[in-house]
């Protein structure tokens, strides 16, 4: 059957609302409760090869790169393997050193993004091993990789990616879990994460059920010429993705920053005309993040805080959006959902073509 927006005003809206079902598909048949691990048959790596990995390097473009940063954090936290993400569009231009004991991961919804494809070719030409986290089955990147994890998000039409990104995050969580369990991650921790993963589809639904309240916040944000998105450590790629989505479809200037870096420069820009969307999960950094909220409020910067129920934000004047709690490592996938809704409703309020924003293509297949 043809894939159509149906009753939805746009594909983006339909795709955001499909996330609970899409997330369930990403996990389906891949979780092993008994051994507290994940099974990703398509990786084409045995336990010996998996144990030999000394580093993980993730490559993607745009939002896929930001989810790659979330993925690198998961790999470091769960598998304790040094990991980082890099923009695939820059990678091959610095004549990168390719190492045999590094696992390269290419991440792409379309599987056709030329910059990511050329990065894969560069790695393979130099003898490296690449696995793909790809949504479109049989796409160019999927075919070029040594192995891979299909995302099973289903077709995604809107230029602003939503459900594919959610499934990329889950793909990284499964990869990190599998890598972790052949190394030092305990079975108890493995089971704890499996339990968290299985709760995610319903928790995304809970956030989507708050759409009307989040839309009201978006209407206020749409009036600003410029919006900051700030977060720290796990929250920083979330902020980057939030800013990306906001600028893509609302055409408003949006800038992502590490909350910790505000005082090293950009705090000068905070004023009643420049709102900040702050990511403040309940984690090791909550107190420090709350301190930064007070600094922003003292400059009369309007604040929207994405946080967890029960987090004490002090007396700070802000609009608060609570997301459900999960295991800390998995928080980013939930924190990002309100940011999709903020961007969507800001753009809708401004009357923009949500699915086909100006100057952008769904996949960038020429350099």
Q: Helices 63-74 and 331-349 sit at what angle, rounded to 10 degrees?
A: 160
Tokens 């039409």 found at: 157
Give 119 or 173: the residue with its C-beta nearer to ligand AGP. 119
Q: Residue from 108, 167, 250, 289 that binds ligand AGP (CB under 6 A)? A: 108
Does position 37 interact with ligand AGP (CB under 6 A)? The reply is no
Q: Residue from 37, 69, 161, 307 that binds ligand AGP (CB under 6 A)? A: 161
Cross-strand bridge partners of residue 229: 256, 277
Give 208 or 293: the residue with its C-beta nearer to ligand AGP. 208
Does position 157 interact with ligand AGP (CB under 6 A)? The reply is no
Whole-Å CA distances, 302 to 5, 84, 181, 268, 276: 35, 33, 44, 14, 6
Give 271 or 365: the residue with its C-beta nearer to ligand AGP. 365
Does position 109 interact with ligand AGP (CB under 6 A)? The reply is yes
Cβ neighbours around 51 below 10 Å, total: 11
Q: Residue from 160, 175, 292, 341 that binds ligand AGP (CB under 6 A)? A: 160
**For ligand AGP, how many residues bind (rule: CB under 6 A)?**
15
Cβ neighbours around 220 below 10 Å, total: 15
DSSP label at residue 131: E
Does position 250 interact with ligand AGP (CB under 6 A)? The reply is no
Minimum CB–partner distance for residue 161 and ligand AGP (Å): 4
Does position 286 interact with ligand AGP (CB under 6 A)? The reply is no
Whole-Å CA distances, 217 to 35, 277, 339, 341: 43, 11, 11, 10
Minimum CB–partner distance for residue 74 and ligand AGP (Å): 18
d(CA 254, CA 342): 12
Question: Helix, strand, coil proportions of the chain in percent (round to 5)?
Answer: 50, 15, 35
Does position 248 interact with ligand AGP (CB under 6 A)? The reply is yes
Site string for ligand AGP, 308-347 (x = CB under 6 A): ----------------------------------------
Return the structure tokens found at 37. 């691990």
Minimum CB–partner distance for residue 342 and ligand AGP (Å): 14
| Residues of this chain, 76-95, that bind ligand AGP according to CB under 6 A | none
Nearest to 345 by CA among 229, 221, 239, 163: 221
- 156 in helix, strand or coil? coil
d(CA 149, CA 33): 20
Return the structure tokens found at 4. 């159509």
d(CA 152, CA 286): 34
Give 109 or 307: the residue with its C-beta nearer to ligand AGP. 109
Which range of residues in 30-38, 102-110, 226-234, 346-354 is near ligand AGP by CB under 6 A?
102-110
Does position 364 interact with ligand AGP (CB under 6 A)? The reply is yes
Closest-by-Cβ residue to ligand AGP is 62
Does position 167 interact with ligand AGP (CB under 6 A)? The reply is no
d(CA 335, CA 306): 7
CB 15 within 8 A of CB 162: yes
Does position 63 interact with ligand AGP (CB under 6 A)? The reply is yes
DSSP label at residue 78: I
Give 116 or 326: the residue with its C-beta nearer to ligand AGP. 116
Does position 64 interact with ligand AGP (CB under 6 A)? The reply is yes
Give 62 or 171: the residue with its C-beta nearer to ligand AGP. 62
Which residues of this protein are in contact with ligand AGP, per CB under 6 A?
A: 61-64, 108-110, 113, 116, 159-161, 248, 363-364
């Amino acid at each position: 059957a043809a894939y159509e927006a149906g009753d939805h005003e746009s594909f983006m809206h339909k795709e955001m609302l499909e996330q609970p079902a899409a997330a369930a598909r990403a996990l389906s048949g891949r979780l092993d409760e008994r051994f507290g691990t994940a099974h990703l048959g398509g990786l084409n790596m045995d336990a010996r090869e998996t144990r030999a990995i000394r580093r993980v390097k993730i490559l993607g473009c745009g939002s896929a790169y930001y989810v790659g940063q979330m993925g690198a954090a998961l790999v470091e936290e769960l598998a304790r393997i040094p990991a980082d993400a890099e923009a695939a569009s820059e990678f091959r231009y610095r004549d990168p050193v390719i190492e045999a004991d590094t696992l390269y991961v290419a991440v792409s919804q379309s599987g056709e993004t030329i910059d990511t494809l050329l990065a894969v070719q560069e790695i393979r030409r130099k003898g490296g091993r690449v696995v793909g986290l790809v949504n479109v089955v049989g796409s160019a990147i999927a075919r070029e990789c040594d192995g891979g994890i299909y995302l099973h998000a289903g077709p995604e039409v809107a230029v602003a990616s939503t459900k594919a990104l959610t499934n990329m995050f889950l793909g990284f969580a499964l990869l990190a879990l599998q890598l972790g369990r052949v190394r030092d991650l305990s079975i108890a921790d493995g089971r704890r994460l499996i339990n968290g993963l299985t709760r995610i589809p319903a928790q995304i639904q809970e956030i989507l059920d708050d759409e009307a309240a989040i839309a009201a916040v978006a209407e206020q944000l749409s009036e600003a010429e410029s919006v900051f998105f700030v977060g720290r450590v796990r929250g920083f790629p979330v902020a980057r993705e939030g800013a990306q989505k906001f600028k893509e479809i609302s055409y408003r200037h949006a800038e992502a920053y590490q909350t910790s870096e505000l005082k090293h420069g950009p705090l000068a820009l905070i004023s009643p005309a420049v709102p900040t969307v702050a990511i403040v999960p309940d984690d090791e950094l909550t107190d420090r993040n709350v301190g930064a909220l007070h600094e922003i409020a003292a400059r009369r910067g309007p604040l929207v805080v994405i946080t967890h129920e029960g987090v004490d934000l002090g007396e700070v004047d802000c609009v608060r959006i609570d997301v459900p709690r999960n295991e800390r490592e998995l928080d980013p996938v939930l924190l990002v959902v309100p940011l999709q809704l903020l961007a969507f409703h800001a753009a809708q309020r401004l009357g923009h073509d949500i699915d086909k924003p100006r100057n952008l293509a769904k996949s960038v297949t020429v350099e």
